[in-house]
Amino acid sequence: MASSNSIAASEEVVATNSKFRVLTASLVGTTIEFFDFYIYATAAVLIFPHLFFPASTDPTTATIQSLATFAIAFIARPIGAALFGHLGDRIGRKATLVAALLTMGISTVCIGLLPTYAQIGIVAPLLLALCRLGQGLGLGGEWSGAVLLATENAPEGKRAWYGMFPQLGAPIGFILATGSFLTLGAFMSEADFMQWGWRIPFIASSALVIVGLWIRLKLHETPAFQKVLDTQKEVNIPFKEVMTKHWRMLILGTIAAICTFVVFYLTTVFALNWGTTKLGYTRAEFLQLQLVATLCFAAFIPLSAVFAEKFGRKATSIGVCIASALFGLVFASMLESGNTVIVFLFLCIGLAIMGLTYGPIGTVLSEIFPTSVRYTGSALTFNLAGIFGASFAPLIATKLATTYGLQAVGYYLTAASILSLLAFLAMRETKNDDVNNQV
């Protein structure tokens, strides 16, 4: 009997720690989430200013209003982080990941079904904002859960490597989102695309959500959180625990992650808007440049994990912040050069830096909190950084560029990079911490 029990326990451990299942579930989920998020970001620049805001509004104002709805999700993300973080630290990672994916997926499909301003007037942008709110709530709980699924199942010495797999979902989602708009634009007229073609990626995302749910429903609880459940050390109110006992790491982690958001959204959303309105590129031309440059984003994420395992999370992140600050100084001269090769190089450098900073950030933010509040702490930290670093980044950059010139946008990136650099300097190295026993 003892032998039978031992065999059963062994089988359960193998099922719980299946490398393929863990990494696939974390990667697929974030791919879906970021695909949904990026199709909105692209549409917010190219589609929504024309369809969801008054025809009497001038193009710049309509774009700013559209980008304002883009910002709503980032404001909603900390709320989603607190909500799903509470569930993740109380009932477990698996159920919470499923709920977050459904929230994001349903909101995205609804956007593809919305009537336009010409059909229902002011109600159209209000409904768009409501759906965007749902996207933000879902992503607020998704990212952290996916990172914890990977890092809490990682073998010793491999946390940064496992932790970068959810991050790979970002470039994959971006490639799928950008590729879908390029494909649609190539096979239909501009009139058809603006009338109904843009809806296809939003509605088609439902198929990806179904696949993600199927994979995640087969998950087992992470070993680290299972220890919390077994010892009955769940925290009653994780949000309160983070705010009262771990507030210093919350602040430092938030500031440390700001650079990640600023460099990405300036290189993608802002650059897309600027390139198609000020530099004379067509939508297809600039999206093609971004699509190829995104390969740099994808390639540098695993490289960052190698650096983080070898040199430590802190040293790697400090080096990347310095590179990002320097990039800000040449931001304007490269983007406004008018030379396609230089603009493409600008996108490659920006997205390579993004890969280097984004790869280890999930591991960093998960390791600075104990297991019992790790979901809430890492989710709040990442999503608060989203408010300060991403929500209004395209809007702020557009205002800076039109008022003070494109050089001011570069200085904005440099300032954000230095701010994150200071935060990393104040944080301790967590590479050798036994984080799974920090109940």
Q: What is the pLDDT of residue 144?
A: 84
Q: What is the pLDDT of residue 309?
A: 93
Closest C-alpha among 90, 193, 83, 76 to residue 135: 76
Q: What is the pLDDT of residue 13?
A: 44
Tens digits of per-residue pLDDT, 382-399?
A: 988 988 887 778 888 988
Instruction: State the Cα–Cα distance between residues 268 and 41, nearest whole angstrom.
Output: 9
What's the 3-state SS for 178-242? HHHHHHHHHHCCHHHHHHHHCHHHHHHHHHHHHHHHHHHCCCCCCHHHHHHHHCCCCCCCHHHHH
Tens digits of per-residue pLDDT, 195-254?
A: 898 899 999 888 888 888 888 787 777 776 777 767 666 678 888 999 999 999 999 999
Q: What is the pLDDT of residue 435?
A: 63
Instruction: State the Cα–Cα distance between residues 307 and 158, nearest whole angstrom.
Output: 12
Higher pLDDT pick, 62 / 326: 326
- Buried-exposed string 171-185: b where 16+ CB fall within 10 A, e elsewhere: bbbbbbbbebbbebb
Count of C-beta atoms within a 10 Å radius of residue 434 = 7
Q: pTM score > 0.85 for this model? A: no
DSSP label at residue 391: I
Confidence band of 174 (pLDDT split at 50, 70, 90): confident
Instruction: State the Cα–Cα distance between residues 367 and 360, nearest whole angstrom.
Output: 11
pLDDT of 7 > 80? The answer is: no
Confidence band of 420 (pLDDT split at 50, 70, 90): very high
Tens digits of per-residue pLDDT, 75-129?
A: 888 898 889 988 888 887 778 888 888 898 899 899 999 998 889 988 988 999 9
Instruction: State the Cα–Cα distance between residues 245 and 247, nearest whole angstrom.
Output: 6
Mean pLDDT of the region 42-69 = 79
Helix, strand, coil % (nearest 5) of the chain?
A: 85, 0, 15
Instruction: State the Cα–Cα distance between residues 36 and 18, nearest whole angstrom.
Output: 27
Average pLDDT, the chain: 86
Tens digits of per-residue pLDDT, 139-162?
A: 888 888 888 888 888 888 888 999
Contacts of 256 (CB under 8 A, 6+ apart): 317, 361, 364, 385, 420, 423, 424, 427
| Domain architecture of the chain: domains with CATH | 18-437 (1.20.1250.20)
Q: What is the pLDDT of residue 347?
A: 96
